[in-house]
Structure 1
Amino acid sequence: MAKRTAARRIGRPSKGPRVAIGTRIPEAHGTQLRSVASDRGWYHSETAAALISVGLRHLQEATAPAPGTDALMIRVPQTDGQRVRDIAAELDWSYSDTAAALIAVGLRHLDELPAKSSTTPSNPAQQELPLTRAS
């Protein structure tokens, strides 16, 4: 009988426990977010989550967000998600508006984003595939 080798895991490495945030951001912010994502080879949700993380480091700059029309569904680390919820409760803002405000702050501090994600496909053709339920 042949020796079994360890099965190779397929797919991207886990980013850890995540929570979903649905938000709407101003169209100008959505355009800038998509540009940043494209420049770095990231997904839009991944970029928004990174911008929220940066925004949390500069919370004192957050102001009530302008009404948004660009809808996003973002999966953020649980710890960031809980911080967003706590801040929303403290400021008496909605969870969605708080996320939008933090994205706006993150966009002002783009220099703090990492240059490249190691979990994003390196083949540009892979990034253009339609998302599936597992995505």
Structure 2
Amino acid sequence: MNTLSGFKADESRHPYSADLKHNLAYRIVRAYASELISPRVRKPPVLLVERIGAFPSSGEIRRQVKDGPALLASIKQRYARDALDLNESSGLNLVFADWRFSLRLSGEGCVACLTVESRGDSSLLQRKTTELLEQIDAGRAFE
């Protein structure tokens, strides 16, 4: 009896026998092939526009500052008492009931990077972004 690629060459066994169908590699190839031939019906992806509307964001706003650590301390002192969550692992991240912001330093503490987000309230986003930028701009270097 000869074997070719792990299959017996006699007529009693076929490449698609029950033993092969229990082979994991065979099942993976079959699942992949069936997905290519007739893909499963998938729910349409959530549109990016819908996500932006649900959680509007300022995007990252960068400003030159004179003293980054002093700016972080000042912002923390002003906002930390009302925050639901405070994280200082990468700058200053504060979460409130309807909005949140992240303020981090870059470039040896000379650049402040601000991101503000809200829960579906664009006007709150604009107010809080403006409020924070006014505080950051007070510490900017105008050289």
TM-score of the aligned structures, taking structure 2 as reference length: 0.26
Structure with larger RCO (C-alpha < 8 A, sep 6+): 1
Q: Going by fraction, where is strand more abundant, 1 or 2?
A: 2
Q: Going by fraction, where is helix more abundant, 1 or 2?
A: 1
